[in-house]
Chains A and B, each alone.
Chain A
Amino acid sequence: MSPRAREEIAGWLWTSPWLLGFFLFVFGPMVASLYLSFTKYAIGGTPQVIGLDNFVRALSGKDDLFWPSMGRTVEYAFVMVPIGIGLSLLAALLLNQGMKGTSVFRTLFFLPSLTYQPDFGAINWLLWQLGVDEGPRWLTTPSMALPSLMLIALWASVGGGAMVIFLAGLQSVPRELHDAAAIDGANAWQRFRNVTLPLITPTIFFNLVIGIIAALKVFALAVLATQGGPNYATWFFNLHLYNNAFQFFEMGYASALAWIFFLLVVALTFLNVRWSRSWVHYEGDERA
């Protein structure tokens, strides 16, 4: 066998576990779910093709939880993504100052992202210290439930993956650029604004794309803390999808919801990539 042919076979073989998994657990199910989205299907029965009825039912508002849950999810993402990325960047900047014990602080900051903890004891305790007699009933008041979940999610995510990625991004900013700027008389803010920030725009972009998708996918937290309540105040899109599929066993309709969600994610990511061309700076890229 020629070396070229051997290389060809080796490539396919090494990649085959992923290829197998991809076709079995990603591509196959995607095709299946696209088919199911055009059917009426309850588990145990046979799928009946009903054309676009599922999509019409969702988008026309006949399902009166569809648009509210979509709106709530987008609202959640709109609040969470900018604040989350901003705070993660601040935390990363703080931990990138060459302090002693940085690794201890980094561990402490990272710890909450390992576990969801819908417990407001600490905040109620703080409020009590500040003279508030009884802490708010965080998760059982409709107007408080959504902000409360955002607070928990922020607490859990600020020190998590995004911060670690920002740290990696910050460490790749060349020192000599900072030193050169300092010699030219730039103060700390100017060095951040004109040296650090442009050089970490790819990192910000990555966190933005991943962060938007993660925020739109909010699910586990709402299931754990509120089950969508009180009075649907935290009934997110994925909760709606999950309940349709696994509580009401409307697998066909739930597949249509999944595809609507997928198209939303693809559209947002596409817009994001287009938009990024105007503000993301790649070093050594002729486009920049």
Chain B
Amino acid sequence: MSAAQSLSTLARFRTPEQVRARWAWYAGRGILYALAALGAILFMGPFLFALSGSLKSAAEMHVFPPQLLPAQPAFGNYARVFDIPGVYFAKWYLNSIIITCASVVGTVVSACAAAYGFSRFRWRLRDFFFIVLLSTLVLPEEVVIIPKFLMFHYVPQALFGHTWIDTSRRGSAVEHSACSLCASFFSRYHVIWTRRPLSMGPIAGRSYGISCCHSRNRRWPPWPSSRS
């Protein structure tokens, strides 16, 4: 019998321990799948209830015990949202879409440009501004929200003669989102996208590598860590 043949015979031969290990492996997998399914149900549950709630009539919303499936699905709810008096849902919906699109475009453009500028060119104060960029990660929006609000209130007033923000409607969330529009341009994505080539040497004595979720060899978190 050749060596290869004897090896393949060995591979087919299973001791009771091997059989047991195999079943233990299957049991372990079973537990894992059960846990993942349980987690998925936990995470989906409230979501499904909200979905079913959207199809319930007002009376059925307050039925106890709560029902997962509405007795008479009220698909009309979705149309009614748009003509409740005093609720300008279509307008708000459009506002959200505009703000989202604008801030995504703004973020992508300015973050790509900044990442390129920081990673491919040497310029004075670059290292300093990179530290500044990193520290904006931990800057709470609250510190700048009031001046930003004032800016959005007064600058259009000065330029166009009327304000964009109606302060007589107190505390509407729209104001907040208008102000956060510009803030979102300067988010952490700038940091995430700035990846310095190793050949350029470290910034301020350290190198910063940036990670994205699927890469194995880049590093997370992006701040000063190792000398690679």
Which A positions have Cβ atoms within 8 angstroms of B?
A: 7-8, 10-19, 21-22, 24-26, 28-30, 32-33, 36, 43, 91, 94-95, 97, 99, 105, 108-109, 111-112, 115, 117, 119-126, 128, 134-135, 155, 158-159, 164-165, 167-169, 171-172, 202-203, 205-206, 209-210, 213, 216-217, 223, 238, 241-243, 245-247, 251, 254-255, 258-259, 261-262, 265-266, 269, 282-286
Which chain B residues border A121 with CB–CB below 8 Å?
46, 49-50, 52-53, 66
Q: In this complex, what residue of A is CB-closest to B114?
A: A18
Which B positions have Cβ atoms within 8 angstroms of A?
A: 29, 32-33, 35-36, 39-40, 42-50, 52-53, 64-66, 68, 109-111, 113-114, 116-118, 120-124, 126, 129, 132-133, 136-151, 153, 167, 170-171, 173, 175-176, 182-183, 185-186, 190, 211-214, 216-217, 219-221, 223, 225-228
**Residue B148 contacts which of A29, A111, A126, A210 (CB distance < 8 angstroms)?**
A29
A125 touches B49 (CB 8 A): yes
Q: In this complex, what residue of A is CB-closest to B228?
A: A284
A165 touches B220 (CB 8 A): yes
**Residue A117 contacts which of B42, B46, B144 (CB distance < 8 angstroms)?**
B46
**Residue A246 contacts which of B175, B183, B214 (CB distance < 8 angstroms)?**
B175
A168 touches B213 (CB 8 A): yes
Q: A8-B123, A15-B118, A122-B46 are in contact. List 8 more A-B contacts (CB 8 A).
A: A29-B146, A112-B47, A119-B46, A125-B68, A165-B221, A243-B171, A247-B171, A282-B225
Within the complex, the shortest CB–CB distance from B103 to chain A, in Å, comes to 12
- The complex places the Cα of A10 from the Cα of B116 at a distance, in Å, of 10
10 A-B pairs within 8 Å (CB atoms) are namely A14-B121, A15-B129, A22-B136, A30-B147, A120-B46, A121-B66, A205-B221, A241-B142, A242-B171, A283-B226
Knowing A238-B142, A245-B146, A265-B138 are in contact, say whether A11-B186 is a contact too (CB < 8 A). no
**Which label, helix, strand, loop or mixed, suits the secondary structure of the B interface?**
helix
Within the complex, the shortest CB–CB distance from B105 to chain A, in Å, comes to 12
B142 touches A91 (CB 8 A): no
Which chain A residues border B138 with CB–CB below 8 Å?
209-210, 213, 265-266, 269
Knowing A11-B122, A11-B123, A14-B116 are in contact, say whether A245-B145 is a contact too (CB < 8 A). yes
Q: In this complex, what residue of B is CB-closest to A280?
A: B225
Which chain A residues border B49 with CB–CB below 8 Å?
119, 121-122, 125
A217 touches B48 (CB 8 A): no
Which chain B residues border A36 with CB–CB below 8 Å?
146-147
